[in-house]
Amino acid sequence: MLRITRPRLLSLILLAALVACTSNDSSNALNGSPSVVTDTLGVHFAVSCSGALCTLKSQDSDATPTSCDGSNGTDTFTFVWSRILTVHVLNLPTAGMIEVNAAEPGHPVACVTDADCYSPGMLDSAGSAATYACQNGLCQATQLCFGGSCDTRLTTNDILTLCQADIPWPKDCPYITLPLFADRIAEVAANCGSNTYCAKVPSDCRQPAALDAVDGGSLDVTGWESSDGIQAALDAVDGGSPDGGI
């Protein structure tokens, strides 16, 4: 199963070689899951999966995958299997390391009913599994297990995803210096600090449940127009190693 091996700026570091070891099942409707999902901006994505790795193709010409990663791979929309089912922009290399970074664009998958949520079920033979249901208009994990360890708590990564729910998919880089995203990073840093798991969702971000919103503490964002300043904010919320994967 693709999973976190160590933290790095709220990143999931994964070996690309593990992708080849996953199931070759390319079904777009595994366990009754939809072949098209919709993010919180209303963008539709066609889903194609091979084992744990799912790539998504935008059906909206205005939404293109732009990771702002700067690597030589191919920018691709993918699922991230977390408490909040996430459409994430990943720079997918032909070989070597795959890095899923919270500073890259990501949006929650939106829903009206459970049928709108992609639920792969079992992902490998090591006890890794993910199932999702529609809760408060978002696809949220009802089962999330990696290597036999299960946990559906919100992570700080999930909070950052929720705080991007209304931010358009970027066309220009760098993404993390966009004022709205920079402000949201500041709020998450104030609410979650260095915690791996965090239930404190800023009030201006999308909420996983009704009345969950909490206001963030005050945080000086002077000078955060620079990538170094925002990098410091991401360092402030750098946590441990939550189970998760793509």
pLDDT in tens, 151-183: 999 999 999 999 999 999 999 888 988 899 999
Three-state DSSP state, 188: helix
Residue type, 185: I
Q: How many residues does the chain have?
A: 246
Instruction: Tell me: pLDDT of 147 over 90.
Output: no
At 24, is the secondary structure helix, strand, or coil?
Answer: coil
Strands (E), the chain: 12-15, 36-39, 44-50, 53-58, 74-80, 86-92, 97-100, 106-110, 121-122, 129-135, 138-146, 149-150, 201-202, 213-214
Specify the higher pLDDT residue, 15 or 231. Answer: 231
**Among candidates 102, 52, 45, which has minimal Cα distance to 76?**
45
The predicted structure's pLDDT at residue 232: 58
CA–CA gap between residue 120 and residue 118 (Å, rounded): 6
pLDDT at residue 211 above 80? Answer: no
Domains of the chain, by residue range, sit at 12-236
Would you state the pLDDT for residue 44? 98
In the predicted model, what is the mean pLDDT of residues 194-203?
93
pLDDT of residue 124: 82
Per-residue burial over 126-162, b if 16 or more Cβ lie within 10 Å, else e, is eebbbbbbbbeebbbbeebbbeeeeeeebbbbbbbbb
pLDDT over 70, % of the chain: 73
86 versus 176: which is more confidently predicted?
A: 86
Contact between residue 85 and residue 140 where contact means Cβ atoms under 8 Å apart: yes
What does the pLDDT look like over 109-142, one tens digit per residue? 999 999 999 999 988 888 899 999 999 999 999 9
